[in-house]
Amino acid sequence: MIEQIKARFTPKQYFVELLFGVVALLGLYLIIAWSSYSPIDSTWSVSSYQPETINKAGFLGAWLVDLFFALFGYIGNIIPFVLFIAPIYFIRTKLVDSLTWTRFSLRMMGFVLMLCGLTMLTALLFSDPVYYLSGGVLGGMLTAWLLPVLGKFGALLLAIALSSVGFVLCSGASLILLLVKFYHWLTIKNEEPTTENSTPVAEHNVQSTPITAEPSAKETRKNDFVDVTHFAKPEIKGLTPKTETQEQVVESSVVEETQEVMPQIIPTTISQATPHVQIESVDVSDFDQTQFDFQLKSDTPLPTVTIHDDYSSLMEKPVELELPTPVVKEESAVDFGQDFPTMPTISLAENESKTAFTVSLSDSPAVAHKDEDDEHFYALQKQFEEREAQRLAEMEQRAKALDAEDLFQNITTVSEREEQPEKQAPVYKPYENSLIHPLLQPTQTHTAKPTTPMPTLDLLDQHSAQTHEITEAEIIETSRHISQKLRDFGVKAEVEDVLVGPVVTRYELALQPGVKASKVTGIDRDLARALSFNSIRVAEVIPGKPYIGIEVPNKHRQTVWLRDVLNTPVFLQSKYLLPMALGKDISGEPIIIDLAKTPHLLVAGSTGSGKSVGVNTMILSLLFKVKPSEVKFIMIDPKVVELSIYNDIPHLLTPVVTDMKKAANALRWCVEEMERRYQLLSKLFVRNIEGYNEKIAQAEEMGLPIPNPIWKPGDSMDTMPPALEKMSYIVVIVDEFADLMMVAGKQIEELIARLTQKARAVGIHVILATQRPSVDVITGLIKSNIPSRIAFTVVQRNDSRTILDQNGAEALLGRGDMLYLGNGTTDLVRIHGAFMSDDEVRRIADDWRAREKPEYIDAILESVDDNDEEAKGASSDGDLDELFDEVTEFVVSTGTTSTSSIQRRFRVGFNRAARIMDQLEEQGIISAMQNGKREVLARRGEY
Ligand SMILES: Nc1ncnc2c1ncn2[C@@H]1O[C@H](COP(=O)(O)OP(=O)(O)OP(=O)(O)O)[C@@H](O)[C@H]1O
């Protein structure tokens, strides 16, 4: 050890460091003298004799400080500090090692120039104090000489120039760079300016820090160098590592020879060792990096490169490190090299030989310096390779001696991977006449017709139980921390209860009497910062408890799987008409709501917060519990891909609507349907859908079907009013409501408002989802009719208030974390949304598709306006519908005369089909209705 230390120091270094040490001590002595300076002490400039010296540093200290003041005026104040700080800085940053006489002289000269400049400046700018001149004798003399020659302005300029040049020469730093850094610091771009940052590169370049020395984590960070500390570094035990002395010699020789800066590669210790042979550090110094001091500094942040400690992976993946370019070192105190660092590439790549890896340096275009540099560079590269080969040979021998050849092979041998066959240009088949492509066909899964009455939960994946990874000690520690921090903010509270949930942990606190909960809510962000959490949420009310809750995110978040939520008695045994699972609450209890009671739902949150997954969860819960005869869906999906997975399930009243114009028609149809249902309810003297369905059931039991009381002849082809059937619930789901508002804002708003105001009693429920929680989308009119709301995470408090009328959603954690505001309450419930894969959704949809076919109602998407347009067009065109010819062909060839078959065949609404039938009758193609039937009068070929 001592030998190693000895080897590191040369007599010159000892001497210089000693000298600097003495100067620093002198500086300290002078600082004491300066701090207790008294102008009445007997000193150089004081003629009266004082028997006692007041100065704490005695006569000598008082005398010296006075001398500085007399000679340099105000600038004399800084000299003791310079004498103290400068040597310490030089020793600490090891700049001492690189100090040459030339550089030392330049620095001293710079210092003198700076002194002259600064004393002149103070002499020119400040008035003289009582005891000495403001610029001292030096400044006074210089200004006295120069003022008559240059005038005040010229003297001022000269003083500034002298100070600047002196500073540059003395410190070796670039003035421009310092200004830039200062600017960055001012604008808080440079967050951690360190003294080292201002150190000239050239001086770092020649540092003689031994390359094999393990840098401390702190040093590594401070130096801002490329951190290759994960670089696996095996050293087989028993092999004699190269001594520091050897490295030092090689290092210094090369530095002197090349005068180039190379990146420092800092080796580290491999973490895993084989059972027999302990792997220690890769002696990266053996990689010839020892020949150079690779330390580089740059103002640009360098990436931290992590290379796995597994050598095989290293071999497989060439790693490229982008580093600042070597800067040509000049033997000068001034170096601007670091101002504009350029970037060479260091790549750790495969070598064809048995070399583990090579370090190759290639100049970036910016480095395209001189030819000499290139020569140096190639010479160095060659040297690298030679030494590498030599090193490996030595290692191999040692490994043999240790019987660790296998390990050596692992480490060094580049797996001789077979040459990749050259990539063949892909051969494409031309499209020919068809654009049919197998990948453009919908993926049809043909599920056999299920035998169970309803889909079973087996369609959902089973996931293993997850455990909480929080320990009691952690909980106690956090509780203590929370109380402490609250106290710091002036709130006295003690943690009384802790609830560990799947995503967050809630610390329930009893507040000191008289302390308002809103006081804690007001400091939630500061509290989160103080507790080092991304965000915390303060629950001002915990139902049933006299506490407030502070919810902090768990370190390890669990996923709430849909199956785990549905496979609970709460859901399976629920008697709800329209049960919808949302997820689990903080304590892990499943949360199921009844849409029939909700009765409409607004779901909002920023993009990616989990809305679509949430809406899917709701739909799937209904699909598990409710039959198509009981509930029907109208799905509106402007995003096209979110809900189209449900197309053709029997619950749909119309295919998933992706065209926003048609979506408006669908809403209009819902309003008409609502009105129709209300008429029926009034005729049956019931107040809601439940009462209506009960009456129908009674009538069925009695065997006396109720004729439709609002039917009029012509409404259908029937001659008698058809019997009333049970009404199914209708759930209208809009996945992106803002898109709908964009197409027909006011109209949509009115339709939604009408539906949400009245539709509940007739079994029509609306779920609106939007990722734009702004007041132009979620308008007051809409909000006032939808009291139940779900907020996923939002960006700002305003958004939270728009959705929930209170803060909180901005503190959610995303990915399904939501706040639920139930109908008729102001208490928010935090729920962690259930999650399921797309595959699971597909399986359930397939299961229903295999059970029944949907009965779509075409009229839903037809617009009244369209019909009007068509009607207008028809009358102006001689009263014939556009489809007249086609329908005639159809009627005559098939003999079909029913309006509903025309509706189905030509996908038109009832009104239009009936009108065409009338036209056919007028034209004598079919007869008038007799006994509810028409006959085809025309023969084929006549028309
Ligand atoms: N309950 C959940 N549990 C875990 N992860 C979830 C959950 N909900 C959503 N995520 C994750 O968040 C991602 C985004 O979810 P989702 O597509 O539902 O967001 P969104 O709000 O609908 O976004 P956008 O508005 O952009 O469509 C999902 O792909 C999923 O990875």
849 alpha carbon to ligand 1 midpoint, in Å? 26
Buried/exposed code over 414-442 (b: 16+ C-beta within 10 A; e: otherwise): beeeeeeeeeeeeeeeeeeeeeeeeeeee
Q: Which atom of ligand 1 is nearest to the CA of 817?
A: 1
Residue nearest to atom 31 of ligand 1 (CA): 815
The more confident residue out of 41 and 623 is 623
Find, among 396, 398, 389, the residue nearest to 411 by Cα.
396
Residue nearest to atom 2 of ligand 1 (CA): 816
In the prediction, which pLDDT does 921 show? Answer: 84
Find, among 675, 712, 669, 738, the residue nearest to 914 by Cα.
712
CA distance linking residue 594 with residue 576, whole number of Å = 6
The more confident residue out of 883 and 264 is 883
Residue nearest to atom 10 of ligand 1 (CA): 815
pLDDT at 850 over 60: yes
Mean pLDDT of the chain: 75
CA distance linking residue 579 with residue 595, whole number of Å = 6
Say if CB 640 and CB 841 are below 8 A apart: no
Find, among 670, 677, 669, 607, the residue nearest to 639 by Cα.
607
Which of 534, 553, 572 is at the close of a domain?
Answer: 553
CATH number at residue 905: 1.10.10.10
Element (H, E) at 790: strand 788-792
Residue 714 in any domain: the answer is yes
CATH number at residue 485: 3.30.980.40
The more confident residue out of 94 and 402 is 402
3-state secondary structure 592-649: EEECCCCCCEEEECCCCCCHHHHHHHHHHHHHHHCCCCCEEEEEECCCCCCCHHHCCC
CA distance linking residue 905 with residue 883, whole number of Å = 11
563 alpha carbon to ligand 1 midpoint, in Å? 17
E-state strands within 598-698:
601-604, 631-636
CA distance linking residue 536 with residue 520, whole number of Å = 11
Note whether 405 and 549 are same-domain residues.
Answer: no
- Could you tell me which residues come within 8 angstroms of residue 645 by beta carbon, excluding any fewer than 6 positions away? 838, 841, 842, 845
Which among 169-178, 358-367, 661-670 has the top mean pLDDT? 661-670
Confidence of residue 308 (pLDDT cuts 50, 70, 90): very low
Residue nearest to atom 11 of ligand 1 (CA): 815
Number of Cβ within a 10 Å radius of residue 91: 16
556 alpha carbon to ligand 1 midpoint, in Å? 18
Number of Cβ within a 10 Å radius of residue 184: 14
In this structure, what are the phi and psi dihedrals at residue 826, rounded to the nearest 5 degrees? -110, 0
In this structure, what are the phi and psi dihedrals at residue 636, rounded to the nearest 5 degrees? -115, 120
Angle formed by the axes of helices 244-258 and 371-402, nearest 10°:
160
Q: Which atom of ligand 1 is nearest to the CA of 613?
A: 18
Q: Which residues are annotated as a binding site?
A: 605-612
In the prediction, which pLDDT does 734 show? Answer: 92
Element (H, E) at 688: none
Note whether 257 and 349 are same-domain residues.
Answer: yes
Q: Which atom of ligand 1 is nearest to the CA of 834?
A: 1
Say if CB 540 and CB 548 are below 8 A apart: yes
Q: Which atom of ligand 1 is nearest to the CA of 792?
A: 21
pLDDT at 358 over 70: no
Residue type, position 857, single letter: I
611 alpha carbon to ligand 1 midpoint, in Å? 6
Total number of residues shown for the chain: 943
Give residue 171's domain range.
2-186
E-state strands within 822-901:
828-833
The average pLDDT across 442-462 equals: 82
Burial tier of 533 (Cβ tally within 10 Å: 0-12, 13-18, 19+): middle
The more confident residue out of 424 and 6 is 424
pLDDT at 241 over 60: no
Note whether 525 and 566 are same-domain residues.
Answer: no
Q: Which residue has the tokens 């660790």?
A: 404
Note whether 832 and 702 are same-domain residues.
Answer: yes
Note whether 403 and 516 are same-domain residues.
Answer: no
Q: Is 547 helix (H, G, I), strand (E, B) or coil?
A: coil
Residue 759 in any domain: the answer is yes
Note whether 874 and 832 are same-domain residues.
Answer: no
E-state strands within 400-525:
493-500, 504-511
Number of Cβ within a 10 Å radius of residue 496: 13
Which of 392, 412, 432 is at the close of a domain?
Answer: 412
Find, among 858, 923, 917, the residue nearest to 890 by Cα.
917
Confidence of residue 151 (pLDDT cuts 50, 70, 90): confident
Residue nearest to atom 12 of ligand 1 (CA): 815
- Could you tell me which residues come within 8 angstroms of residue 231 by beta carbon, excluding any fewer than 6 positions away? 265, 266, 267, 268, 282, 284, 307
- Could you tell me which residues come within 8 angstroms of residue 182 by beta carbon, excluding any fewer than 6 positions away? none
The more confident residue out of 320 and 524 is 524
Q: What percent of the chain has pLDDT over 90?
A: 21
Residue 746 in any domain: the answer is yes
Residue 943 in any domain: the answer is no
ipTM: 0.97
Find, among 812, 819, 836, 846, the residue nearest to 564 by Cα.
836
Q: Which of 733, 795, 815 to mutate to test the pocket of ligand 1 (most atoms within 8 A of CB)?
A: 815
Residue 439 in any domain: the answer is no
CA distance linking residue 835 with residue 816, whole number of Å = 8
Residue 98 in any domain: the answer is yes
Residue 153 in any domain: the answer is yes
Which among 503-507, 658-662, 923-927 has the top mean pLDDT? 503-507
Find, among 767, 458, 745, the residue nearest to 603 by Cα.
767
pLDDT at 319 over 50: no
pLDDT at 746 over 60: yes
Number of Cβ within a 10 Å radius of residue 694: 14
Find, among 252, 240, 178, 201, the residue nearest to 10 by Cα.
252
Residue nearest to atom 6 of ligand 1 (CA): 815
Confidence of residue 412 (pLDDT cuts 50, 70, 90): low
DSSP 8-state symbol, 546: S
pLDDT at 537 over 50: yes
Q: Is 224 helix (H, G, I), strand (E, B) or coil?
A: coil
Q: Which of 559, 562, 564, 612 to mutate to test the pocket of ligand 1 (most atoms within 8 A of CB)?
A: 612
Say if CB 524 and CB 534 are below 8 A apart: no
Find, among 503, 506, 505, 609, the residue nearest to 557 by Cα.
503
Note whether 58 and 84 are same-domain residues.
Answer: yes
pLDDT at 239 over 90: no
607 alpha carbon to ligand 1 midpoint, in Å? 8
614 alpha carbon to ligand 1 midpoint, in Å? 8
Q: How far is CA 77 from CA 127, 134, 136, 170, 431, in A?
A: 16, 11, 11, 18, 87
Find, among 273, 238, 286, 282, the residue nearest to 402 by Cα.
238
Residue type, position 871, single letter: A
Q: Which of 562, 563, 607, 609 to mutate to test the pocket of ligand 1 (most atoms within 8 A of CB)?
A: 609
CATH number at residue 774: 3.40.50.300
Confidence of residue 178 (pLDDT cuts 50, 70, 90): confident
In this structure, what are the phi and psi dihedrals at residue 654, rounded to the nearest 5 degrees? -155, 155
Residue type, position 511, single letter: L
Note whether 488 and 635 are same-domain residues.
Answer: no
Residue nearest to atom 4 of ligand 1 (CA): 815
Note whether 809 and 866 are same-domain residues.
Answer: no
Note whether 786 and 707 are same-domain residues.
Answer: yes
817 alpha carbon to ligand 1 midpoint, in Å? 10
Note whether 644 and 675 are same-domain residues.
Answer: yes
CA distance linking residue 260 with residue 373, whole number of Å = 9
DSSP 8-state symbol, 301: P
Confidence of residue 731 (pLDDT cuts 50, 70, 90): very high
Q: Which atom of ligand 1 is nearest to the CA of 583?
A: 1
In the prediction, which pLDDT does 279 show? Answer: 38
In the prediction, which pLDDT does 711 show? Answer: 78
Report CA 715 to chain centroid distance, whole Å.
58
Residue 171 in any domain: the answer is yes
Report CA 284 to chain centroid distance, whole Å.
36
The more confident residue out of 29 and 103 is 29
In the prediction, which pLDDT does 446 show? Answer: 65
Cβ < 6 A, ligand 1 pocket: 559, 605, 607-613, 771, 815-816, 833-835
Note whether 107 and 170 are same-domain residues.
Answer: yes
816 alpha carbon to ligand 1 midpoint, in Å? 6
In the prediction, which pLDDT does 420 show? Answer: 54
814 alpha carbon to ligand 1 midpoint, in Å? 8
Helices (H), 126-270: 136-171, 175-186, 201-205, 217-223, 244-258
Which among 180-194, 350-364, 569-583 has the top mean pLDDT? 569-583
DSSP 8-state symbol, 132: S
- Could you tell me which residues come within 8 angstroms of residue 350 by beta carbon, excluding any fewer than 6 positions away? 315, 318, 357, 414
- Tokens linked to 747: 């109209």
In this structure, what are the phi and psi dihedrals at residue 545, rounded to the nearest 5 degrees? -135, 150
Q: Which residues are annotated as a binding site for ATP?
A: 605-612
CA distance linking residue 532 with residue 553, whole number of Å = 11
Q: What percent of the chain has pLDDT over 70?
A: 70
Confidence of residue 460 (pLDDT cuts 50, 70, 90): very high
pLDDT at 574 over 80: yes
pLDDT at 255 over 70: no
Report CA 440 to chain centroid distance, whole Å.
33
In the prediction, which pLDDT does 733 show? Answer: 95
Task: Point out the least confidently predicted range of 44-53, 218-227, 891-900.
Answer: 218-227
The average pLDDT across 213-234 equals: 38
Find, among 181, 198, 199, 126, the residue nearest to 159 by Cα.
126
The average pLDDT across 898-914 equals: 77
CA-only gyration radius of the chain, Å = 43
759 alpha carbon to ligand 1 midpoint, in Å? 30
Which of 553, 588, 623 is at the close of a domain?
Answer: 553
Tell me the per-residue pLDDT of 784-835, one tens digit each, with 9 for 90 and over: 889 999 999 999 889 999 999 988 899 899 999 999 999 888 888 999 999 9
Tell me the per-residue pLDDT of 183-212, one tens digit each, with 9 for 90 and over: 777 765 444 444 444 444 334 443 433 333
The average pLDDT across 286-307 equals: 40
The average pLDDT across 52-71 equals: 83
Report CA 673 to chain centroid distance, whole Å.
46
Q: Which atom of ligand 1 is nearest to the CA of 606?
A: 21
Say if CB 231 and CB 282 are below 8 A apart: yes
Tell me the per-residue pLDDT of 698-708, one tens digit each, with 9 for 90 and over: 998 888 888 88
Number of Cβ within a 10 Å radius of residue 220: 19
The average pLDDT across 386-395 equals: 82
Total count of domains within the chain: 5
The average pLDDT across 78-90 equals: 84
Name the pairing type of β-strands 764-770 and 601-604: parallel
